[in-house]
C-alpha cells in the first residue's frame, strides 16, 4: 500500500486527492522506490490545470529522490539500498512509493542530500543544458537571465558567474532583488524599471550575448531588444503565458538574432545524456559552485497548499513534499 496524490479531472487545486493504493512488484528493468523527498515545480500546475493535458486519472509530479527497496528482473546498474533520483518523464512523483524504470534514474552522490536531489535536480539539469549546451556560456560574455530569484534562475545565475560571465538578472520585487544581488552582477526590478534601457546602459549599448527567458509573454519583446547582433534568445518557459506569435523577419531586423525553444527532454534523451547532465549538476553543487536553496516543504497531504503558494509566487527557492 502507498499514498499518492491523484486527480480525476483537470482543474484548480481542489481536484487533488490523497488516495491509498496497492502498488505491484517491479517488472523487468524496474525498481521499487521508497521516496524520501519530492520536488514541486510549475509544470505540475500546468499538468493539473490542463495546460499540458494528462490522461485521467493521473498522478502529479515529475521529480523525487528515494531509496531502492526492490529490483525487477535484469536490473544490474543499481542495488537495493542505493539512493537515486529522477526528474522529468512520466508524472506520478507525488507518492510515498513508486515503481520506476531504471533508465529514468540517476545515482545520487553521498555529498548530495535527499532534499537537494529531489528539490533541485529538474532545475539543476535545466540550468546545465541551458548554460553548457543550448548556448555555451564562457568567460567575457554578458548574459541576461529573467526571473533570477526563481528556482532555475538562482542556480543558473550562480553557475554562469562560475563560468566567467557577467550576469544581469531581472526580478519582480524588492525582496527578490535583494536575494538575486548575492549572485548576479547586476539586478533589475522589471516592475519598477525598464529592463531594456538598463541592459543597454550596462552593456554600453552593445546588448547581451544571450537572454534566458522562462517568463514568456511579459518579457519576450523586450528581451529581443536586449540582444547584441547575432545574439541568442533562449525561450525555455512561459510562467506569464506563452510567447506571442511573431514574424521571423523581426529576428533579422533586430540583428540577425537566433531564437530557440528548448526542453530538457531533448537534451537528456539518451541514457548517457541523462546521467552526464545530472552528474555535472551534482558536481557543481558538491564543489560549491552552486548553493541551492530549499525554501519550503509541505506534507504530501498538503500538496494543494504547495500549489497555491507556488502559483501566488509566495515561495522562494525550491519546494518539497514530504511523504
pLDDT tens across 124-178, in order? 999 999 999 999 999 999 999 999 988 899 999 999 999 999 999 999 899 899 9
Comparing CA positions, the residue from 194, 151, 197 lying closest to residue 293 is: 151
Indicate the fold that domain 2-121+268-322 takes in CATH. Answer: Quinone Oxidoreductase; Chain A, domain 1 (3.90.180)
pLDDT tens readout for residues 103-133: 999 999 999 999 999 999 999 999 999 999 9
What CATH number should be reported for the domain whose range is 139-261? 3.40.50.720
Q: What is the pLDDT of residues 290-309, one digit of tens each?
A: 999 888 999 999 999 999 99
Extended beta strands in the chain, E state: 2-7, 17-21, 30-40, 58-59, 63-71, 83-87, 97-101, 106-107, 142-145, 166-171, 186-189, 208-213, 227-235, 258-260, 294-299, 318-322
Task: Please provide the average confidence, as pLDDT, over all residues in the chain.
Answer: 94
Q: Where are the domains of the chain?
A: 2-121+268-322, 139-261
Q: What is the pLDDT of residues 36-58, one digit of tens each?
A: 999 998 889 999 999 889 999 99
Amino acid at each position: 500500500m502507498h499514498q499518492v496524490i491523484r486527480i480525476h479531472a483537470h482543474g484548480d487545486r481542489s481536484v487533488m486527492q490523497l488516495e491509498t493504493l496497492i502498488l505491484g512488484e517491479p517488472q523487468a528493468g524496474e525498481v521499487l522506490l521508497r521516496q524520501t523527498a519530492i520536488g514541486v515545480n510549475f509544470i505540475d500546475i500546468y499538468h493539473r490545470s490542463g495546460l499540458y493535458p494528462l490522461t485521467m486519472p493521473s498522478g502529479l509530479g515529475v521529480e523525487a529522490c528515494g531509496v531502492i527497496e526492490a529490483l525487477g528482473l535484469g536490473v544490474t546498474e543499481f542495488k537495493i539500498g542505493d539512493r537515486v533520483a529522477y526528474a522529468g518523464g512520466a508524472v506520478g512523483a507525488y507518492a510515498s512509493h513508486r515503481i520506476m524504470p531504471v533508465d529514468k534514474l540517476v545515482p545520487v552522490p553521498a555529498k548530495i542530500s535527499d532534499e537537494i536531489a529531489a528539490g533541485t535536480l529538474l532545475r539543476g539539469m535545466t540550468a546545465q543544458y541551458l548554460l553548457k549546451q543550448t548556448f555555451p556560456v564562457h568567460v567575457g560574455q554578458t548574459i541576461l537571465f529573467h526571473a533570477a530569484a526563481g528556482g532555475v534562475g538562482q542556480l543558473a545565475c550562480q553557475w554562469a558567474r562560475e563560468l566567467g560571465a557577467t550576469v544581469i538578472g531581472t526580478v519582480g520585487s524588492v525582496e527578490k532583488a535583494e536575494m538575486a544581488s548575492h549572485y548576479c552582477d547586476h539586478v533589475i526590478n522589471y516592475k519598477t524599471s525598464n529592463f531594456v534601457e538598463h541592459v543597454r546602459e550596462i552593456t554600453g549599448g552593445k546588448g547581451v550575448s544571450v537572454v534566458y527567458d522562462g517568463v514568456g509573454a511579459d518579457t519576450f519583446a523586450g528581451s529581443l531588444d536586449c540582444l547584441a547582433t547575432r545574439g541568442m534568445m533562449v525561450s525555455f518557459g512561459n510562467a506569464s503565458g506563452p510567447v506571442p506569435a511573431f514574424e521571423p523577419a523581426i529576428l533579422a531586423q533586430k540583428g540577425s538574432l537566433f531564437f530557440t525553444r528548448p526542453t530538457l527532454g531533448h537534451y537528456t534523451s539518451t541514457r548517457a545524456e541523462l546521467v552526464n547532465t545530472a552528474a555535472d549538476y551534482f558536481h557543481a553543487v558538491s564543489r560549491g559552485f552552486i548553493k541551492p536553496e530549499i525554501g519550503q516543504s509541505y506534507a504530501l497531504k498538503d500538496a494543494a497548499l504547495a500549489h497555491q503558494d507556488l502559483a501566488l509566487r509566495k515561495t522562494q527557492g525550491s519546494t518539497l513534499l514530504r511523504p
